Structure 1
Amino acid sequence: MTVTDDELLAAKILVVDDQPANLELLAHALAMAGYTDVTTTTKPREVAGLYRAHRHDLILLDLQMPDMDGFQVMEGLKEIERGGYLPVLVITAQPSQKLRALQAGAKDFISKPFDVLEVQTRIRNMLEVRLLYKRIEASKRQLEQIVLERTAELRESEARFRGLVELASDWYWEQDEHGKFTRVSGPALEMLGLGEATGADSDARPRWNEADRAMLGEKLATRKPFLDFVYRRVNADGSEQFLQTSGEPKFDEAGRFRGYRGIGMDVTGRMAASGQVADKALRRFRDAMDTTTQGVFLLDRASMRFVDANAAACRLSGYRREQLLELGPAALSDDPGRDHEADFDQLIASGAGDISRPGTLVRSDGARIKVEIQQHASPTSDGWLRVDVVRELDPGN
């Protein structure tokens, strides 16, 4: 990382001396060296205001001035640059003041009477350091801003994905490695048989099928994923209610178990209408998928074909739904050598839950669009299913 001559010569310099002759001499030396942005003042009390307005890259400061000496000027500058870099090069005829000036925050000094070549050399050296420091600070702020923006995007993406999951279920739950519930939405605790309303008459409470509830407890204890586990309870009016829940364990990057998360729904209507085509849960999932503005692709591991896609997925890809069901991820990828089966297997093996990555989607007309892809793999009764939630990125991203 270097500073160009153009950057050095365009640096903002402020010269402070109560003697007009000294100001004229220094200004002339700077002009002869090619510096183009030089301000001078004989009034030390104006320095703080000038610096606050223009943020000079270098201040040439005489220490011995009658109204307000250079040390007082530096104290005023410290109030502006709290804990920051003080770009001051002091000018003094007193050798005893050099150490005090450096201790007060000055970065270098020039002795009077001064040599013009020495002045130009020290100014150039100080400006190189100052401009590099400012460039590093700007890069640091830019990096911090990028991190903040990416973190916000990831949080927004996670919120969208969770919203889709919650739309497709009646309740959502999470628990830590000790079995304590850390997040619930809807009547999760009641539906899991873990949190009936306190104080309710025991005769009015639902009666759980204890065998079913024991099996649910066993599934949670195994720390393995389970899908569409159906269990029953008998309500106070004698009616039987069927509930369904799915859950998966959470593991950190080191493979340590961190709890469970899952969804559930009331499937009483579906169980009562067994054998009929209508399926309330599937209709709800279909409606949820088609109302989201993001593309949702469901991929079957065994066939490596899409088994479902929502309306937004069709708009993004340019294919009709029936066309997509004949295709797999290779048809939408811009990387002909990519091993999509290996990608799927790696997602299953990682056990890390949801992953997010940028990518390029190839439309049916050959156009390529930049997208963000969030993926999640879940076991089914006959294999694995991957949910790809795809969001088109703005052209500037």
Structure 2
Amino acid sequence: MNRLQELVRDARLLVVDDNPVNVALLEEMLDDEGYTDVTGVTDPTQAVALFAAQPFDLVLCDIRMPGMDGHEVIRRLRALVGEDAFLPVIVMTAQTDSQTRLQALQAGVRDFITKPFDRTETLYRIRNTLEVELLWRERSDHAEALERLVAERTAELHAREAHLSGILRNAADIIVTADAEGRIRQFNPAAEQTFHIGAAEAAGLPLATFLGEGWTPRVGTLETMARRSDASIFPLEASLATMEIDGAPWVILIGRDVTKRKLAEEEMAFLARHDPITELPNRTALITRLTTMIDEGRGGLALYVAIQGLRRIGDTLGHAVAEKVLRAAGERLEEASGGRAVVGAWGAADFLVLCENMDGVCDYSADSGQDLATALREAIEEPFHVDGNELVLDCRIGVSRFPEHGALAPRVVQRAGLAVFAGRVRGDAGVTVFHAEMEEAIGRRHVLERELRHAVERGQLRLLYQPKIDLASGRVAGMEALVRWQHPELGLVSPAQFIPVAEDTGVIVAIGDWVMTEACRQTRIWHDAGHTDLVVAVNVSGRQFRVHDLTRRVRAAIDGAGLTPSCLEVEITESAVMSDVADAVRMLGEWRDMGASVAIDDFGTGYSSLGTLRQLPLSTLKIDQSFVRHMPDRAADRAVARTIVDLARALDLNVVAEGIETEEHAAVLRDLGCDLGQGYLYARPLPPADFLDFVSGRVPA
């Protein structure tokens, strides 16, 4: 580690953000990177006080904070360090508007970090800013040392020359002295090494030989492209001062080759406009480009490409492989666009493609958007071969048109992204073009999402119970618990509407816990009322089935109600079981050992095999209502039902038929040997009180 790297690692850093999660995230990130002195605060007033007590080398400051926002913090820090001093501040913001950035730049901040944080980019910006500040400080220190040196010279020429010679020999910086005519008198070893010429050879040459013909002696700082003896050029940053020797003015130059710093600045400027992994234009550059297109009246297409499968690759093969795949995906998109579009990186696994309608290249009023999107999708879905692995990605693409779908660039992109989301919700094949109705539909869905998150805690959920009838005796053998959502403003929300939303958002886990607990509690009440033979069936969704501690949750519901486990039957779909058969065998075995029974719901609609069924510790198969509905007049449906009953008998399982609406349905199922049935012939799903009346009044056939 060189000296500059040591200075960077030992720099004092202050993180200011009212969100403690962001502070902790940055502290951990910086600690992992090796920074040794990081202070994090959530109070901007405390941050200013800490800086006033002992200045920090760099401040990472949020813009939006209560009480004192980031702009005020920057203003106070500027007052502490002085108007002309280096202000060591990087702004952290989720805002991308130019006014916020301009205001911060006018205050003298050094850089921006966009939220959410990209680790690589964030660390790179912090390191670059610290290196620039430390190099600047070092140069300023050298200039101040020079000024002090000049001020402290004694009248003794020999003492001054001896002192200067020591500096010349030992300084790491370039030190050159010249007489009043600008001819070189002294050239230290650092100058010899930098300019590729010895001191003796340089003596007497005009300083302009190395600084350019346009150079004129002046006191202050100098930034120029200097010339070596071999005519190669490099960026030189120097301080110039005058001193008097034997009554004659001399010029003394102290400087350094700042090639590395300039390259770092260029790289920082590149990264400010490009994604660090793919090196494609980043979000900032894309918005700028799209804004220009719109402002200049050039219409076109924005295609939002959402890549699916990268996280899986990163989790299984490592992030290095995932990054290679991401870079390759970007290259494929550029190739597939045929050079007629701008391809950029929008997010961690998202790309944005801008196709301009110019000279008929991209006719956004025709089907070219769909055609281009299809070409992009096909390019992404071709297998990738990385490090000996064949890897497959999926993608969804949303298409919006500008300016038709927005006069502002962010709006155009947002609507393309909205099309991706709408396509996923609707189950589109992969390419979805935005239309205005999507916003209303997505808006309704967002309302459902927001309200559904509070439905359990606000007591808006209800359970109805549909009786299960013993087809041979007519008695009520049990019931299926079915959840309903009664919203105070939306009214009764159909399960067909809110269950998919609950699955997508994960709220189904909390709803499932409530349903299991409430169903067990109500069943215990009916047992206490004398109906001890009732068995309650509770549905478990595919999302719930993947919860690692589901068995514990089921056990807690049973124990909390004081219910016998054999009075609970858990219903799960074929597709949930087939997604991970080994895990299903394990979990269903735990429920069987507990004493609960398990039913496969909607049997016959999935892809389970006889071999799979024999592995599963089941008690019941449920014939889906789609087969029951047309049994009387469709021989094929009767054959399916008969096969399911025969299969259940072979595996020693019970059979329940759903959707029995007529006596004819019931008669056919009885003849087939089906055990239990449920449907509107007997009763619709009933509230608890009505269900109890139904059970009490039911006379066995």
Q: What is the TM-score normalised by the length of structure 2?
A: 0.22
Answer 1 or 2: higher relative contact order, Cα 8 Å, separation at least 6.
1
Report which of the two structures shows the higher radius of gyration computed on alpha carbons.
2
More strand by share: 1
Q: What is the TM-score normalised by the length of structure 1?
A: 0.38
More helix by share: 2
